[in-house]
Structure 1
Amino acid sequence: MNKKVILSCAVTGAGETTEKSPHVPVTPKEIADSAIKAAKAGATIAHIHVRDPETGKLSHDVNLYQETVERIREADTDVIINITSGGGGDWVPSEDDPTRGGAGTDIQTPEERHEPVGKLLPEMCTLDCGSVNFGNMLYVSPTDWLRKQAKLVQESGVKPELECFDTGQIRFANQLMQEGLIDGDPLFQFCLGIPWGAAADAETLSYMKSRIPENGRWAAFGIGRMQMPIVAESVLQGGNVRVGLEDNLYLKKGQLATNEQLVDKALGIVQSLGSDIMSPAEARDLLNLRNPNGKEG
């Protein structure tokens, strides 16, 4: 069991959730404020997407990322910033011509996906380690694109969080290490319960953690009602955890949550199991992260 747990909060995500809950933050100020509240509640890391302030939908605007990151960095409350670099991977086949992307398709190059990370130099960023069926959509991340993206992240000095939605993606993440594209001890994030990726259960989690290198560290999250069960299972199996409105909108059946409420609930689960939450300073040291001022930790 993990005695000191890194707790991430994915504060907004990119999904069509803003019409389902008034608590999903949209503007840079709202996203930053929610990240700060999550940190005050105990989150070690804030995982950041940005949204179009007018529509509430996914945005890739670097200026929105910059405003969000600056607001968090200027706050008195410390939290590690983890920017997504997985945007622009949505492929929805056109009904009229399945060789072309239809409504909802949003594809970026590796260089475009990396732009907010390369400009803002957060302490961490995600690196989605392969393509996957995502409901009725395909999330596209070809291996040669990922090699380019991994190299860009490596050159920036930002710590990649290797997001794995299925077991084959762990194999490719290990391949990136063999090719020298991941520095230091790798950090994996097991993304469980996405239709139709890896299942959100103890057996799948156990198998996935068995496939990472001995020097690897890992975290896991489950979506929807499996968010808190996977928190408990991750701690028991020796890993770290993630909660937040990107993955789940409810505190309990029928009650919409805020990010800080989800963090507080996860904190209670972690402590009830005899563990505690790692501070941002402790996590920076453990993961050998660059400091918020851009220097190595």
Structure 2
Amino acid sequence: MLGIVTEITVRLLPKPETVKLVMAVFDDVRKAGEAVASVIQAGIIPAGMEMMDKITIHAVEDFVHAGYDLEGAAILLCESDGTAEEVADEIERIRTILQASGATRISLAQDEAERQRFWAGRKAAFPAAGRVSPDYYCMDGTIPRKHLAHVLEQIEQLSAEYGLRCMNVFHAGDGNLHPLILYDANQPGELQKAEAFGARILEICIEAGGSLTGEHGVGIEKLNQMCLQFNDTERNRFHAIKAAFDPQSLLNPGKAIPELHRCAEFGAMHIHRGAEKFPEIPRF
């Protein structure tokens, strides 16, 4: 885990001739999740596709006044860029799919100011969370887009189970989830509940065929879940590659790749879906 940059080669892209943004409102989170999958299945790769659930919509609207529909259960932002002809065609296809997916309202940003205002809400999701909760725990997991609706329903169930609110905001276009678990560290036990809640979200991502991280990395926070995503052979290979570049283990020791004994201990103690292995054995 060491990189020394000696040279960077970049490719300059021309600024898009035209950029258009569509905002769709849904009365059900599942419908919004299925709309994302339908857009991708149609062979459309938007320049940007972001989604927010109801609690996030309310938090950011109070903060930036973006003009969001507070009655919606979810909002989906889809952006297209390119030539005027390409954008016009793609936006029309996206609108047709969103309508067929059950959108209750579809708005096309009328000018650059409105486009920037629609995006401002999504970009302000994290600071908005800080206005509605003393603390929040940001997760980062990636799932196949076709499972988006199902995973969101599971997160909602976990929210009720742990008694903690969760703001769901994410890069819908690539299935990268960023649930923000809201808690109060001054309340005994809430931090531990938030961490357990977050761990279950990561496990759900793995169960759905996804990954522990899309962009935030592993560090030490996700070491236990690395034991679930990768087997012993894979983890041994990771360690061998690291040893080739860092034989004395001086660079971030104990991070990113769990030792085999840690995974053995985690496997023995792991409670899966509320069922503990060998419950008759005393735990100390």
Coarse TM-score class (shorter-chain normalised) = under 0.3
TM-score, normalisation: structure 1 = 0.25
**Highest CA radius of gyration, 1 or 2?**
2
Higher RCO by CA contacts (8 Å cutoff, separation 6 or greater): 1
Larger proportion of helix: 2
